[in-house]
Structure 1
């Protein structure tokens, strides 16, 4: 069986598909620093994520302060994790513990609240609209 060479346009298109960076490799990460003070002990943010995109909110706290985080969302596959500075494991994993967290901080530092969609929803490029309430009390 004889093979015909691909036309130039088809060859260029094939090369573009093979060498292009997949869209999922550069998913956007929205980052925001949350400033909580003695006068402003809570912060509420409305956001939206789509697919594999995430949002990260950082808050600086001291050991013994109580951090509270609550996620209200339109998607059952939308959760948040909390990462402690200098630790590999998450302090809180929303997909196994729910959309509400309240506990005393174990150490001083910058904590990150990461809002995300579970893989089943991210694969479908689902959109989650959420409100995240973050509080810090002595």
Structure 2
């Protein structure tokens, strides 16, 4: 498939997903953990997700304007596990792993605040009770 065709398909999928919540986990509240990041010092977080019990985990990181957030995810159920990065105080995603299909993302933020990195099971996998062990690596540059 050509790069142009792939980009067009991603845009179409993104538009379709605007009509539904982006990878909203089935559970009512998502557990959250605050993570302190020092400049250029990687933090590795180990976790486990299991559909129907715990299908998402949030990690809150404070960034200053101009900081670059580097996120990498490795998961045992890689095709069923993804991450999003959410803007401070918002459910607006800067990055939607389910659409992009990448397990690594790096971005310079324009606004200071608490960003949320949400690791989750894709809804179909969560409903089937899929388990996934993961390592999330976060770096503030």
> How does the TM-score come out when normalised to structure 2?
0.73
Could you tell me which residue of structure 2 aligns to residue 81 of structure 1?
Answer: 84
CA drift of 1:47 comes to 0.4
CA drift of 1:36 comes to 1.1
Q: Distance in 1 between matches of 2:137 and 2:26?
A: 29
- Secondary structure at the aligned position of 1:96 is classed as helix
Gaps of 5+ in 2: 1-24
> How does the TM-score come out when normalised to structure 1?
0.75
Query: Is the CA contact 1:51–1:117 (under 8 Å) kept in the aligned structure 2?
Result: yes
Task: Pick from 44, 55, 64 the counterpart of residue 66 of structure 2.
Answer: 64
Could you tell me which residue of structure 2 aligns to residue 123 of structure 1?
Answer: 127
Gaps of 5+ in 1: 1-23
Moved over 3 A (4+): 24-28
Q: Distance in 1 between matches of 2:26 and 2:94?
A: 26
- 1:1-138 residue pairs with structure 2 within 5 A? 26=27, 29-38=30-39, 41-52=41-52, 53-75=55-77, 76-97=79-100, 98-137=102-141
Q: Distance in 2 between matches of 1:114 and 1:47?
A: 12
Shift of the 25–121 alpha-carbon distance from structure 1 to 2, 3 Å rule, reads: closer
Q: Distance in 2 between matches of 1:82 and 1:34?
A: 14
Query: Is the CA contact 1:28–1:54 (under 8 Å) kept in the aligned structure 2?
Result: no
Shift of the 60–78 alpha-carbon distance from structure 1 to 2, 3 Å rule, reads: same
| Cα distance per residue 1:69-97 (max 9 Å; x no partner) | 00000111100000011344201000112
Q: Distance in 1 between matches of 2:41 and 2:90?
A: 25
Larger Rg: 1
Q: Distance in 1 between matches of 2:111 and 2:44?
A: 23
